[in-house]
Amino acid sequence: MRRSVFFLSDHTGITAETLGRSLLTQFDGIDFHQTSWPFLDNIEKAESAVSRINRAAREDGCRPLVFSTIVDTEVRKVILACRGAVFDFFDAFNDRLESELGQPALHVTGRSHGIRDFQRYTSRIDALNFSLANDDGLMASNYPASDIILIGVSRSGKTPTCLYLALQYGVLAANYPLTEDDLKEGLLPKALAPYRDRLFGLTIDPDRLHRIRTERYPDSRYSQLKQCRFEIDTVESLYRREAIPFLNTTSMSIEEIAATIMQRAGIQRRLYG
């Protein structure tokens, strides 16, 4: 079964996409054909979107799903007149929030993802720069300022997780790759020893690691399944011996990995919203 889906917003569309796609994950067996349409901030743009939605309704023979976070009242009226099934996230909650809080909503666009608070935005960028500067064991002299240091073998998810922690939570996250030489010694590298309380290990199933490495470096010793099994067995033994908390990332998204690390390591986020 095919179903057209539209994510509509008068700003970036991040909220509409995130909430809408989260809901769609609960439904299997449907081919969702997804279209994102950000910056629908006037009547003309809204009418173009409605025309596209109505065409999809005719072609599919069923109502498209329309997830909207449009704030402007007049633009919303245009969208609500389309031939799709409209799920308006603001409409679902604003009335109850206004009643509970005793004041009307501002109905101002861009409040979720704009630069309203320059200090908070600066903190986000500072955290991102920190993660980039301290990627793959660079600048160990910066470790005293870190909130967490992710360790693990190559291609176990350290870098993307650090960047996500920085952008979403403002966490100062560094990462250090455990090389084959490190693993053969069976000891924490000297650069990490003073920061044992900030270490968090990542691991991954050897078969999955083998596939990831093969995509980048096929026919290399680095990507061989035997090598991947050796590294994973050895690094997990190191984690257990040194009492370092660790997480298997094989079947987890970056969002899940980051949230789990935050919870298990007891890290307080610096950014909200």
φ, ψ for residue 34, nearest 5 deg: -100, 135
With tokens 């009226």, the residue in question is 77
With beta carbons less than 8 A apart as the criterion, state whether 65 and 89 touch. no
For residue 248, give the nearest of 212, 207, 213, 201 by alpha carbon: 201
Q: Quick one: tokens of 190? A: 């000297």
Amino acid at site 214: T
Specify the pTM. 0.70
Query: Quick check: 176 and 149 in contact, CB under 8 A?
Result: yes
CA angle 197, 202, 204 (to 5 degrees): 160
- Residue 207 CA to residue 229 CA, distance in Å, equals 8
**Cβ proximity of 20 and 67 under 8 Å:** yes
CB 254 within 8 A of CB 202: no
| pLDDT values of the chain reduced to their tens digit, one per residue, 273 residues | 889 999 999 888 888 898 999 899 999 999 999 999 999 999 999 999 999 999 999 999 999 999 999 988 899 999 999 999 999 988 877 777 878 888 887 766 655 545 455 666 678 788 999 999 999 887 788 999 999 999 999 999 999 999 999 988 899 999 999 998 999 888 899 999 999 999 999 999 999 999 999 999 999 999 999 999 999 999 999 999 999 999 999 999 999 999 999 999 999 887 765
Q: Is 268 helix (H, G, I), strand (E, B) or coil?
A: coil
**Closest to 134 measured CA to CA, from 170, 169, 158:** 158
Pairing mode, strands 246-248 and 31-37: unpaired
Cα–Cα distances in Å, from 268 out to 111, 126, 214, 217? 23, 16, 37, 38
Other Cβ atoms less than 10 A from the Cβ of 86: the count is 21
Instruction: Report d(CA 16, CA 69) in Å as an integer.
Output: 6
Phi, then psi, of 266 in degrees rounded to 5: 70, 35
Contact 5, 24 (CB under 8 A): yes
